[in-house]
Chains A and B, each alone.
Chain A
């Protein structure tokens, strides 16, 4: 158990910056997920912590030790790899005890520890199997046993579940959480799967293009994304975005306008270009507008494609056609995605009325993408009068 601290860690490959000025401060026993799209530098960050890659600049602390220039074996870490990386020429026992043998543990203690580690991952009685004789899930469990047997300060996991099938992945996810509860070791977990990140971690670190975007508990990343990237990356299906301009007391997008109190929000003034985002579940049919904390006025839209998921239905909406907008404009704009209750009576190509929950409307700076506000405070007036679209 140890805290991990990265200070200004940068890794450059020739002219590509894989990790850019990364600062992370992980608490003892924390389960941290590094998430981001492919090539965002999350694996490189993990490799620098592991010592497999040397950072171009910056400093890494594990516990109270500076480990920036230490080889991996002296860092007190253990790692689980995406491709599992069991040694194919060794049986399960030899794989698990590999690190112990290198450290010259006495035979009895080695046996004890291997037994214990095998018990934790429920692989007792399979110690004489070869990796080629096991299924993917079993191999992954052996890899985890190999990591826990040395009782490391920090676990590093590089997409350990990526190569497993969907059912096994969910299964192993639960087991990893159980393991974390049991061992209380700091875990740094890299994944591009945001569902894994949301469900398992204490905090999520969202990375993009080598830069840390936000590090916060999962629900904070979800409800108060620090910028447009985090807002778009966390959550499935993704948040809806649209360009808009701030009016006197309205937010004017192409084709619709939402009234809000400009004064109540710092950092925006009339005429500012912003981008607003709203999650599919924060769009309601007008008949259900009572469920929204702070419904906006309603808009007429036409449904496009339905995706019934069982517990909800994803409804793709055709773009809202502004009165003054031409055909070309219509083509260019993206449709909205909303999520409705499966009991809703909704069909394709149907005209429906929708409202946005203004309490869940996110505003981002159009240039920097930084979040300005999460939720726009409503005007006193209820916007019942305006029906449908409103041109700028």
Chain B
């Protein structure tokens, strides 16, 4: 019986034998199901959404679950059961005892924070110029930034490594005054350069949208242009600044190539968290359980950041797109 027939005033006059129920009885359950979905497509969409979400969640969360499983297994066990036999969290403590894992994490967090700070500061100045000023060659300059960001960073590794480590003159012109290799500078400078273009693009879009009147008002009230940028334009572009900052932070924190190769292997030599995970592997032993535990711990800062700032990121990314 369809909803229409039941609610209709004339429904009573059919003496209970209406066509709808006859049809339903003649059809197989699958046919009825299909009919229902054709009439109410939103039901189909809901089911598809749940299904897709399930697939996505499984593929992204299962590896984490597997890491947890590995961390629960006793040392040396390679046959990992689908459900851990025992819950033994000692591996998570052991990680910090066996190697200075906290220092490794600090190193990576230090890189991420410093680069983010640099990028937001310099990117803001660039974003201000590109978003709010008119000057000759603005578009070509912005375009060349875009081209730079397409450049694979790995191609620049060898020249930078030689300049940082072997004191080879940069561009054949000057030698760096100090050896950067093994210091935070060797990681922070190249990574700042590589993450800068995206941040500049995001900030340019946002800073360009702040009405001129507000900047003028701030300048008349007593700020310089730079002062207006940091006191008025930046706070009003908070979603954009947050997006640029978080994307930079995550990129640098999870970066492997430069942070691994530009530093030594020990925590004291500013090695990143990757080295901390590798440190559980010696010439003769591999502590997979500790490596898994270390990996999980290393994820925590980024996970917290994303959970805390997710709505900022989403509003930041979509706002920029919608307001064009």
Main SS of the interface on chain A? loop
Whose C-beta in chain A lies nearest to the C-beta of B227?
A102
How far apart are B232's CB and chain A's nearest CB, in angstroms? 6
Tell yes or no: B281 within 8 A of A by CB: no
Closest B residue to A82 using CB positions? B213
Bound: A85/B213 CA distance, A: 6
Smallest CB–CB gap between B128 and chain A, Å? 16
B9 in the interface, Cβ–Cβ < 8 Å? no
* B318 in the interface (beta carbon within 8 A): no
Q: Which residue on A lies nearest to B213, using beta carbons?
A: A85
User: Chain B nearest CB: distance from A104 CB in Å?
Assistant: 10
One of A72-80, A237-245, A339-347 at the interface: A72-80
Q: Which of A51, A83, A98 contacts B218 (CB 8 A)?
A: A98
- Alpha-carbon distance between A88 and B235 when the two chains are bound, in angstroms: 10
- Given the known inter-chain contacts A88-B236, A89-B235, A89-B236, please indicate yes or no for A83 contacting B211, CB distance below 8 A: yes
Give 1 or 0 for each of B209-222: 1 = CB within 8 Å of chain A CB: 00101101111111
- Jot down 15 A-B pairs with beta carbons below 8 A, ordered by A: A51-B220, A52-B219, A73-B219, A78-B221, A82-B213, A86-B217, A87-B217, A87-B236, A89-B236, A98-B218, A98-B222, A99-B221, A102-B221, A102-B222, A102-B227
Q: What is the interface of chain A, defined by CB distance below 8 A to chain B?
A: 50-52, 71-73, 77-79, 81-89, 98-99, 102-103, 146, 150, 156
Enumerate the 3 nearest inter-chain pairs by beta-carbon distance, A residue then B residue, closest first: A85-B213, A102-B222, A99-B221
B221, A98: Cβ atoms closer than 8 Å: yes
Cβ 8 A contact of B217, one of A51, A81, A102, A103: A81
A45→B188 CA distance, assembly (Å): 47
Do B214 and A79 have beta carbons less than 8 Å apart?
no
Residues of A with C-beta under 8 A to B213 = 81-85
* B94 CB → nearest A CB, Å: 48
B contact residues around A78 at 8 Å (CB): 220-221
Partner of A71, one of B214, B217, B219: B219
Determine the chain B residues whose CB is within 8 A of the CB of A156 once the complex forms: 220
Q: Does B21 contact A (CB under 8 A)?
A: no
Name the A residues within 8 Å of B211 (CB-CB). Answer: 83, 85
Chain B residue at smallest Cβ distance from A86: B217
Complexed CA–CA distance, A178 and B300 (Å): 62
Given A85-B213, A85-B214, the answer on whether A77 and B220 have CB atoms closer than 8 Å is: yes
CB distance from B265 to the nearest CB of A (A): 47
Q: Is B189 an interface residue (CB 8 A)?
A: no
Q: Roughly how many angstroms separate A52 CA and B213 CA in the complex, as a whole number? A: 10
CB distance from B150 to the nearest CB of A (A): 34
Verify if B224 is at the interface (C-beta below 8 Å from A): yes
B266 within 8 A of A: no
B254 at the interface (CB under 8 A from A): no
A79 touches B222 (CB 8 A): no
In the complex, A73 Cα to B216 Cα: how many Å? Answer: 10
Interface core residue of B217, B223, B235 (most chain A CB under 10 Å): B217
Per a CB cutoff under 8 Å, which of B218, B220, B222, B227 touches A87? B218
Residues of chain B with a CB closer than 8 A to A146's CB: 221
Closest B residue, CB atoms, query A52: B216
CB pair A79–B236 under 8 Å, yes or no, is: no
Question: For residue A103, which residues in chain B have a CB less than 8 angstroms away from its CB?
Answer: 222
Q: Which residue of B lies closest to A77 (CB)?
A: B220
Complex Cα–Cα for A72 and B220 (A) = 5
Query: What B residues does A81 contact at CB under 8 A?
Result: 213, 216-217
A103 to B227, CA, bound (A): 13
Residue of A nearest to B235 (CB): A89
Give Cα distance in the complex from A86 to B221, angstroms: 11
- Beta-carbon nearest neighbor of B210 in chain A: A88
Collect the chain A residues with CB atoms within 8 Å of residue B235's CB: 89
Closest to A102 in B: B222
What is the CB-to-nearest-CB distance from A210 to chain B, in angstroms, rounded to a whole number?
A: 20
From the candidates B216, B223, B227, B232, name the one contacting A79 in the complex (CB within 8 A): B216
Q: Given known contacts A52-B216, A89-B235, A98-B221, what 9 new A-B pairs fall within 8 Å (CB)?
A: A52-B220, A73-B221, A87-B214, A87-B218, A87-B232, A88-B214, A88-B236, A89-B236, A99-B222
Q: How far does the alpha carbon of A84 sit from the alpha carbon of B221 in the complex, in Å?
A: 13
Chain A residues with CB under 8 Å of B216's CB are 50, 52, 72, 79, 81, 85
Q: Nearest-CB distance from A91 to chain B (Å)? A: 13
**B245: min CB distance to chain A, Å:** 18
By the criterion CB–CB under 8 Å, are B219 and A72 in contact?
yes
CB distance from A283 to the nearest CB of B (A): 44
Residues of A within 8 A of B217 (CB): 79, 81, 85-87
Shortest distance from the beta carbon of B214 to any chain A beta carbon, whole Å: 5
Choose among A50, A85, A102, A156 the residue with the greatest number of B CB atoms under 10 Å from its CB.
Answer: A85
Question: CB-nearest residue of chain A relative to B214?
Answer: A85
* Chain B CB within 10 Å, residue with most, of A84, A86, A99: A99
Q: In the complex, which residues of chain B have a beta carbon less than 8 angstroms from the beta carbon of A87?
A: 214, 217-218, 232, 236
> In the assembled complex, which residues on chain A have CB atoms less than 8 Å from the CB atom of B236?
87-89
Chain B residues with CB under 8 Å of A85's CB are 211, 213-214, 216-217
Assembly CA distance A82 to B213 (angstroms)? 8
Are the CB atoms of A102 and B232 closer together than 8 Å? no
